[in-house]
Amino acid sequence: MIITISGTPGSGKTTLAEFLAKKLNLRIYLVGELVRKIAEKKGLSIIELDKKAVNDKGIDREIDKIHAKLKGKDNFVIDSRVAFKFFPSSLKIFLYCKPEIAAKRIFKSKRKTEKMGFKDTLKELKQRNKLDVLRYKRHYRIDIDNPKNYDLVIDTSKMDMEQMKSTAFSAISRFLQF
């Protein structure tokens, strides 16, 4: 079984990936962590890397190496904005969260690469999503926010993380019939 998780920033992608990997005894791949490492290595913030990536396909080629390594493998969950494209037979999940709520989550998590006040976090989150949508349309010719690309779409805006995990697992169980 392969589960791909995409979604808007702050929607709970990593939390859900970690939960499902543990619950279903699957390997886990967190592409967001790789992106943060690339940004740090280049001395850029996440937003600066996103801006650069819109016109520099080389950044996505570096990120896509993780997708390429997984071709032909099974039994994993991957948190990646574009994994659904690379693994078309996977269970494709999309998480959405209203920007104001997502920004609160990111702000509270105090990620070391994203140190700023709430208003700036919200502004950056909206900008990141716009840049990602543009970037993936340009480089991959896909709309990462189109629900038609996914088997399961969950709005996590009004859920805490436990509710999100429970809702997702329940839906996945029905979907996979186990």
| pLDDT tens per residue, range 31-83 | 988 888 999 999 998 889 989 999 898 999 988 998 999 999 999 999 999 99
**Single pTM value for the model:** 0.87
Q: What strands, in cross-sheet order, belong to the sheet with 152-155?
A: 27-30, 76-79, 2-7, 91-96, 152-155
Q: Is the torsion defined by CA of 65, 43, 102, 167 positive or negative?
A: positive
**For 118-169, how does the pLDDT look when each residue is reduced to its tens digit (9 = 90+)?**
888 889 889 988 999 999 999 999 999 999 999 999 999 999 889 999 998 9
What is the rounded CA–CA span in Å between residue 18 and residue 62? 23
Residue 39 class from Cβ within 10 Å (0-12 exposed, 13-18 middle, 19+ buried)? buried
**For 152-164, how does the pLDDT look when each residue is reduced to its tens digit (9 = 90+)?**
999 999 998 899 9
Token output for 147 = 């629900």
**91-96/76-79 β-pairing:** unpaired
Phi/psi at 37 (5° precision): -65, -40
What is the rounded CA–CA span in Å between residue 17 and residue 94? 12
Of the candidates 178, 141, 165, 175, which has an alpha carbon nearest to the alpha carbon of residue 19?
165
CB 38 within 8 A of CB 62: yes
